[in-house]
Amino acid sequence: MKLKKLTGSREFLLFIIVIAMFAIVSIINPAFFSFKAVTDMLRNNAVTLVMALGMLGVMLVGGIDISITSTLALSGMAIGMLLKYGHIQSTLLCFLITMGIGTVCGALVGLLISRAGVPPIIASMGFMYIYRAMGYLISHGGEWASAAALGSFKNFGTDKLLGLSKVIWVIIACYVIFFIVMKWTRIGRQVYAVGSNAEAAEVSGIKVKNIKLMVHTVMGLLAGLAGSLQVAVYASAMPNMAQGGEMDVIAACVIGGVSMSGGRGSVVGALLGALIMAMIPKALPLLHIDALWQNMIKGVMILAVVVINVILQRIANRNALARREM
Amino acid sequence: MPESQYVLELKGITKIFPGVKALNRVQFQLRPGEVHALMGENGAGKSTFIKVITGVHKAEEGEMYLYGQKVDFKGPRDAQAAGIAAVYQHATSYPDLTVAENIFMGHEIIKHGIIQWRAMNEEANKLLKRMNADFSATAEMGTLSVAEQQIVEIAKALSTNAKIIILDEPTASLTKRESEELYRIVDQLREEGVSVIFISHRFEDMYRLASRVTVFRDSQYIGTYNVDEITNADLIKAMVGREISDLFPKPEVKIGKEMLKVEGLSRTGFFKDASFTVHAGEILGFTGLVGAGRTEVIESVCGITKPDAGRVYLEGKEIHVRKPKDAMDLGIVLLPEDRQKEGLLMSWGLGRNVTLPIMGKYAKGGLNDEKKEREISKQLLEDVDTKAVDIFQPASSLSGGNQQKVVVAKALGQEMKVVIMDEPTKGVDVGAKAEIYSIMGDLAKQGYAIILISSEMPEILGMADRIVVMCNGRITGVLDRGEATQEKILDLAMEKGSTTKGGAA
Amino acid sequence: MAGKSGRSINNIPESPIKKLIFGWEGILILVFVGVNIFCKWFSEYYNMFNLLRQMPVYLAEVFLMLVMAFILVMGEIDISVGSTVCLAATLACIISNAGAPFPLVILATLAVGTCCGLVNAFILTRFPELPPMIVTLSTQIIFRGIAEIVLGSGGSVSVANTAGFKAISGKIGSVPYILFLVVLLAVVAGIILGRSTFGRKVYAIGTNRLAARYSGVAVEKIRFIIYTLMGTAAGLCALFMVASSYGANTTTGTGFEMDAIAMAVFGGISSTGGKGNMIGGFISAFIIVCLRIGLGQRNVNGQVILLIIGVLLIAAVALPNIFGSLRKAVKK
Amino acid sequence: MKKLLSVLLVALLVAGLMTSALAGTADGKKIALVGKSAGNAFFEIAAAAFKEAGEAEGATIDVVYPEEATADAQIKVLDNLISQQPDAICISANDFNALQAKLEEAMEAGIKVSSFDSAPNPASRQVFVNQAGTVAVGQALIDAVYDLAGGEGQWAILSATSQASNQNAWIAAMEEIAKDEKYAKLELVPIAYGDDEPQKSTDQTQALLDNYPDLKVICAPTTVGIMAAAKLVQDTEGCNVKITGLGLPSEMLEYTGEGKSCPYFYLWDMQLLGKLSAYATIALINGDITGAEGETFTVEGLGDFSITKADDGGTEIVQGLPLQFNQDNIEEMAKLY
């Protein structure tokens, strides 16, 4: 019974896809089948992986946030400039600053959505412009902070702890915390409750507005964290970094089975979705597909995944109906 | 302070919504271990009152005493903590979560901040067993039937160890047999010393369960009566403010030619091999347990869903209905079951609601003739005697009964041959019910063929010329008005395997 | 069976002009006037001549807003339009360079856009359970992806024979053709949305899709038509984009979907569906265009202009809600 | 709370409106310098030098950036500039052909059009200040590849976007030169595009390393690309691929020198480029030059420059040869730019 439930789940299907993609790519190019290749991939996609968690929370309450990469750029640029002009040196402080800025940015979006009743797409679109512009403004209209300016902070991107990159430890920590919070704590279940039926949640004493504010604030926090990771991993901060990356994050969640209308989705799903998104650009060049074709194939794959999912769901429904006794 | 004889007492409660006084100095007393019915027409303020008790709304005036102590709830959590639990009219479930989670939402079993899933599932299964439910606590809520969800809601109330449980129209979407199950559970609760407040439109519920009844009308308190001392007529008078002499004005109509004929209609998983006919001037009743497939058959006839097999004839000619519009063009008009979700656009003005299906008929070159639209909608709304100020007010501002009248008006505007009414009196107060029956009778007199889908036995017996009974996706019998009795219908509705499976799908 | 009580229900509407003035449109007109006064004060170059000269590049995006309004009223969204513009513009250049006569180029460009719209329309109506956001997100990547493949490693193409494109960017006096076209199409779109039975059905879909379907509205047919037209509008936009640069490249049309959505939403067309009208969208489009030109003429940083638009957008949606709840609080 | 929010919004709006650089009234010559996009450190350096040189000559310089690094956005900027009627526009183009209509309109309106860094097509400009001859850059880069690869083996190009006109010109030049007998043993694998984004550039470099285990050299003629590639290779243990290309010394400081991933790379004197462009533009305004082939003009302290025919058929002023940055000079140069 339990096994059947597991194999029938969306996550299991995604897991198979991830394994299959990994296997195919590894067969064609054995170089990919290595610990290093996998950790490199994770490190290079740290930003998407981390933000997918925040987006999971936002989408679970039926929202969406397209301002995240602007938040990332603003917070990343802030520490970039602070480091460049020697105001700070501490790596920990950098992380705290980006997360602080991110939290404020996210909270503003959340306030607008939960308190002023602005639709999430519109609120986050407005802030997408605003935060990006603020990123430019604090960079004195477009300065970069490059490797040399970042001092010891950039070592965070390359340092290892117990044989694993620190960046990957951050990802693991985020996923473990989220997994526990979403599955085993009241607040996590309240997020699901709000997404599943906001009206009912209100009646059973859940402060729906606060939950919405919270998920956006957490989203901001993670976007800020991603700002630190982006600057550390690529050892550079520029005001236009990660522009358009929010769509990758949303796509990762959707592929991972997070419903856009709320209530459905899991941390494992978000992880697998983000991994698939990470593997597509990784796999295509390995398969010797011309760089020009990458975007189209990526789009077709996203579309295929969602369409196939709908078709499978329909078949499952039909079979369930056919089994019904009459 | 002397020990109060009431577990719950409310005095002089006034609740104001923008522009409306929803409650005007109402009072209420609940004795320990009693089942107390709360009755009144739709819009009388019952639901608002319940929400004041449970802390969802805050009253502008008035006091509330719990076991003689004055209380002031800041929110639903306070009420919950004080041992008050409510089961609301519209199921307040989380379709994406499991049964156990639905039951324990807000008071999960938690140790060191971690939810104890195993303990919660066990506890939930115990509660479900207590109510004879045959589904597991790990089932997903969205996959359960309405009746099963209702059981979960009650389990949820029980799980808080509530001393006062409020049931807001619990039987509205339940079949007779499921209602019986509910009565049993409520009896059990009373024996356990729980006080129950019970809101219902069904007199049957009240007689069967309650010892006292409180009536509200037009946001005001009318009175509290002992159930065995008040007559039916007096109670109706208290609720409506007037007497209703004839609830079922079934006119004598000469049955005409065959209008609609359905042959072997099937849709996998919903119904199989449905065949029936309806004639001009005839009211054909459709009944059965919830989930028996009544609505589904009709929806396939109307093009809402696609049947897998079968033929449909209108006035002898085979028709192929692919979408709702096809059915409407042919004169088959459906008044859907769920007014708020399917019948009306709640934020739209009444006029526009009424003309939505017909505006193409008087449009000029694709453009709306708004003047004509206003005239037509005014006429239609007045025809069904809608209580409304103007045709621009939103449908959401009307009471349930008046909303249903707007749905009827919307149908009347169309060129009808066959009218299908799916639970037209669900959640409608007594006064409006009578008006809807009278309209139904008028339509039959005018020679329309009418299909009436209903779970309410008196309604079906009172209005239908013939009664089609469905069970588990199949038509199990057709009874003539003369031969039909409550027992015969129940026999047919619970044939075969359905007695073992709770509520079917 | 006339009403037994003989109760009469009022059916005389409020004056539409009063509604317009005291509604959101009235505020928008004030804002429009205000923005123009501000721009005049802010920029010494802000005058009718320069305004008309600079307008065409922005006006191309207004075509998108006209159909996007329908999509938003339905409570849906299409974020693939920018990419559709890119693909249509690219193919327009290639077709033109292949020696096709200009009328054929126009038709072909519109056809390419329409085809892209058809793809969206087909997927969305065939699988109505899919959210438009995610479908159009994937087609956004796909359409631009195709354009990238077609453009090859150079990444851009320019038209050899510019005569036709020069012609459509012509003027009558100092008024560019495109302004006439925008106004004409806006009137047509406004009448369809506001006055026709089709438009009424679009509102019905946006208000309550299920009830609309039960009321005989062919929901999927209407969605199909609108998403297809969205593609056609993108084709039209592409044509004028090519006319402004005599070419296309892989970045043509980036962010146009957001611009179009911003214009519509600022104009009071709610992205949650069922609300707003074309008049609001049209005025707000011109507010944004005037503001951009006025600020741009004094070399205000492009990012700052986007920041201001972001603030305006949020304010336009949030302030009415905030005032509404304040008013409620005061009443209490 | 809500009040606070609305006050905040209004304050933001007002602040936004005030941040425009209120340029002084144009008594002297007015020149607008149009960049590819804001946030390009490479361009900032040249722009600063341009501004300094121009202002020293009594001209007013407005540096203007489009909202995005696209031709469409530059067209809007040009529209604004035409309204302002400056004496000259100096532009670094996002697209070779796309600006033709607008720049022609500007020239018809009497505005001189010069360009630098990345040229619009010949019909859209009067003169182009070329940082270094395209062929010279191509030659320097291919020689670097030849040197670092040891004369034979696979090499790759990591470019910016596929439509960047200067990138494509250099790549074309390299490919042309590589046809020579001398470079016959070098094998170029398909070109990768990093879109000037760190993540994509890193991914693309990784893919190159994975796909071509025998790869010896990656040449990235773009600042973001070379930085991402150099970082990745340097962080990858046991990777012997060498990086070269075009980059900014301040950004490459960490990766340049012996034992690091990038032994040496090239760039030109960005400050000189800005300065020369300013003088050329002023010369255009003054009528000292018209942009015709064969004209010469003198810049005090820099010497004489002549206008020559460019590869694209237009005219250009070639600034000089590319500079090499290596172990010896990187520290010092990084302080400059």
Output the domain CATH number for residue C285: 1.10.3470
Residue B498 pLDDT > 60 = no
CB contact under 8 A, A205 and B77: yes
Q: A290 touching B, CB under 8 A?
A: no
Distance from CA of A3 to the nearest CA of C (A): 28
- C4, C13, C14 member nearest B385 (Cβ): C4
Name the domain count of chain C.
1
Answer whether B268 sits within 8 Å of A322, measured CB to CB: yes
Which residue of chain C has the CA closest to A139? C303
Decide which of B414, B440, B465 is a domain's last residue: B414
* Token output for B270: 């919903």
Contact status of A260 with chain D (Cβ, < 8 Å): no
Same domain, B461 and B493: yes
On whether both B115 and B234 belong to a single domain, the answer is yes
| pLDDT value of residue A326 | 56
A321–B269: do the CB atoms touch at under 8 Å?
A: yes
| Chain C residue nearest residue D22, CA to CA | C298
The residue written with tokens 């920590």 in the block is A173
Q: What is the DSSP letter of B15?
A: E
A200 vs B473: CB contact, 8 Å cut-off? no
The highest-confidence range among A295-304, C31-40, C100-109, D31-40, by mean pLDDT, is: C100-109
With a CB cutoff of 8 Å and minimum separation 6, the contacts of B364 are: none
- Return the closest-CA partner of residue C159 out of C99, C97, C105: C97
Q: DSSP string of D72-89?
A: HHHHHHHHHHHHH--SEE
- A186 and B115 within 8 Å at the Cβ level: the answer is yes
Residues D46 and D111 in one domain: yes
Cα–Cα dist B392/D207, whole Å: 64
Mean pLDDT of the region D4-25: 46
Strand order in the sheet with D315-318: D60-64, D30-34, D88-91, D112-116, D127-130, D315-318, D303-309, D296-299
Q: Which two tokens stand for residue A176?
A: 């473990």
Does the pLDDT at position B157 exceed 60?
Answer: yes
Count of domains for chain D? 2
The average pLDDT across B404-425 equals: 90
Inter-chain residue contact D41 with A242, CB threshold 8 Å: no
Instruction: Chain D: give the shortest CA distance to residue C228, in Å.
Output: 25
In Å, how far from its chain's centre is CA A223?
8
> Which domain-ending residue is among B414, B434, B468?
B414
- Tell me the sheet residues that pair with B28: B10
pLDDT confidence tier of residue C121, bands split at 50, 70 and 90: very high
pLDDT band, residue C108 (cuts 50/70/90): very high
pLDDT digits 0-9 by tens, B34-47: 899 998 766 678 88
Beta strands C171-172 and B332-335 are unpaired
Return the closest-CA partner of residue B244 out of B54, B447, B31, B431. B431
Domain that holds residue D302: 28-131+270-320
Q: Which domain holds residue C173?
A: 45-154+161-317
- For residue B450, the cross-strand partners are B283, B419
Could you tell me which of B141, B96, B143, B102 has the C-alpha nearest to residue B124?
Answer: B102
**What is the per-residue pLDDT for B19?**
57
Q: Name all chains with 3 or more CB-CB pairs below 8 Å to chain B.
A: A, C
A134 close to A73: Cβ distance less than 8 angstroms = no
Angle subtended by helix axes A294-323 and A10-28, to nearest 10? 140
In a domain, B336, yes or no: no
Last residue of a domain, one of B393, B414, B435: B414
Please give the Cα distance from D238 to C225 (Å, whole number).
59
pLDDT of residue D159: 87
Q: D289 to chain A, minimum CA–CA distance in Å?
A: 33
CATH number at D139 reads 3.40.50.2300
Judged by 3 or more CB pairs under 8 A, whether D touches B is: no
A·B CB contacts under 8 A: 85
Contact A260 C318 (CB under 8 A): no
| DSSP annotation string for B361-372 | HH-BTTB--HHH
pLDDT above 70 (res B3): no
Q: Does any domain span residue D32?
A: yes
Tell me if C24 is assigned to some domain: no
Cβ-Cβ contacts under 8 Å, A281 against chain D: 200, 203
State pLDDT tens for residues C262-298: 999 999 888 888 888 899 999 999 999 999 999 988 8
With a CB cutoff of 8 Å and minimum separation 6, the contacts of C40 are: C46, C294
Asked if CATH classification 1.10.3470 holds for the domain at A10-283, the reply, yes or no, is: yes
Terminal-to-terminal C-alpha distance of chain A? 24
Tell me if C230 is assigned to some domain: yes
**CA of A6: how far to CAs of A12, A81, A257, A272, in Å?**
7, 48, 15, 15
Which value does ipTM take for this structure? 0.83
> Which residue of D13, D38, D82 is in closest CB contact with C311?
D13
Mean pLDDT of B140-153: 79
Mean pLDDT across A210-236: 93
Which pLDDT belongs to residue A1?
41
D93 and D145 belong to one structural domain: no
- Identify the pLDDT of residue D2: 43
**pLDDT > 90? residue C196:** yes
Nearest CB to B269; choose among A180, A196, A322: A322
B206-210, B343-347, B456-460, D88-92: range with lowest mean pLDDT: B456-460
Residue A101 is predicted with a pLDDT of 96
**B236/B263 same-domain check:** no
> Residue B50, CB half-sphere, CA atoms under 13 Å: how many?
26
The closest alpha carbon to D50, from D255, D213, D279, belongs to: D279
Average pLDDT for A74-87 = 91
Residues contacting A40, CB < 8 A, separation 6+? D206, D236
Q: How far is CA C110 from CA B270, C222, D99, in A?
A: 46, 20, 24
Residue D137 and residue D142: Cα distance in Å, rounded? 9
Cβ separation of A203 and B92 shorter than 8 Å? yes
Same structural domain for residues D274 and D299?
yes
DSSP calls for A11-41:
HHHHHHHHHHHHHHHHHH-GGGSSHHHHHHH
Give the pLDDT confidence score for residue B173 in this predicted structure.
62
Per the CB < 8 A criterion, the answer to whether A54 and A270 are in contact is: no
The structure tokens listed for B314 are 């209108």
Residue in chain C nearest D79 by alpha carbon: C54
- The strands making up B258-267's β-sheet, listed across from edge to edge, are B271-279, B258-267, B309-314, B317-319
Please tell me the least confidently modeled range out of A260-274, B36-50, B291-305. B36-50
Q: Could you tell me if D149 and D211 lie in one domain?
A: yes
- State whether B80 and B218 are in the same domain: yes
Indicate whether A139 pLDDT > 60. yes
Under the banding of pLDDT at 50, 70 and 90, the label for residue D25 is very low
Q: Which of B97, B111, B474 to probe by mutation at the A interface, max A CB count within 10 Å?
A: B97
Within this chain, do residues B463 and B420 fall inside the same structural domain, yes or no? yes
Residues in chain A with CB shorter than 8 Å from the CB of B76 are 202-205
Measured in whole angstroms, how far is the alpha carbon of residue A166 from the centre of its chain?
18
Residue C105 has pLDDT above 80, yes or no: yes
Q: Are residues D254 and D274 in the same domain?
A: no
Q: What is the dihedral of CA A192, A193, A194, A195, to 10 degrees?
A: 50
Whether residue C15 is contained in a domain is answered as no
Under an 8 A CB cutoff, do C145 and A294 touch?
yes
Q: What is the pLDDT of residues B244-300, one digit of tens each?
A: 555 677 777 888 899 999 999 999 888 889 999 999 999 999 988 766 788 889 999
Return the minimum-mean-pLDDT range out of A315-319, B91-95, C2-6, C268-272: C2-6
If you search the block for the tokens 């020696």, which residue do you land on? C99
Q: Is A202 touching B (CB cutoff 8 A)? A: yes
Of D13, D23, D68, the CB nearest to C308: D13
Residue C101 within any structural domain of the chain: yes
Across the C:D interface, residue pairs with CB atoms under 8 Å apart total 163
pLDDT of residue A192: 92
Chain C closest CA to A162's CA: distance in Å? 39
At residue B230, the 3 state secondary structure works out as coil
Q: Which of D205, D239, D267 is the last residue of a domain?
A: D267
Distance from CA of C24 to the nearest CA of B (A): 18
Instruction: Please write the tens of the pLDDT for every residue from A304-321.
Output: 888 887 888 788 778 877
A143 interfacial to chain D (CB closer than 8 Å): yes
Q: Where are chain A's structural domains? A: 10-283, 293-326
A-chain residues near D207 (CB < 8 A) = 282, 285-286
Tell whether A294 lies on the interface with C, counting CB pairs under 8 A: yes
Give the model's confidence band at D263: pLDDT under 50 very low, under 70 low, under 90 confident, else very high: confident
What is the domain extent for residue B377?
349-414
Collect contacts of A28-31 with beta carbons under 8 A, ≥24 apart. A28/A286, A28/A287, A29/A286, A29/D210, A29/D211, A31/A286, A31/D210, A31/D211, A31/D213
Q: What DSSP string describes C89-145?
A: HHHHHHHHHTT--HHHHHHHHHHHHHHHHHHHHHHHHHSTTS-HHHHHHHHHHHHHH
Residues of C in contact with D191 (CB under 8 A): 153
Domain assignment present for residue C99? The answer is yes
User: Are the beta carbons of B345 and C217 separated by less than 8 Å?
Assistant: no
- Are the Cβ atoms of C245 and D72 closer than 8 angstroms? yes
Does the residue C20 lie in any domain?
no
- Does the beta carbon of A146 lie under 8 angstroms from any beta carbon of chain D? yes
Is there a domain that residue C168 lies in? yes
Instruction: List chains adjacent to chain A, taking adjacency as at least 3 C-beta pairs closer than 8 Å.
Output: B, C, D
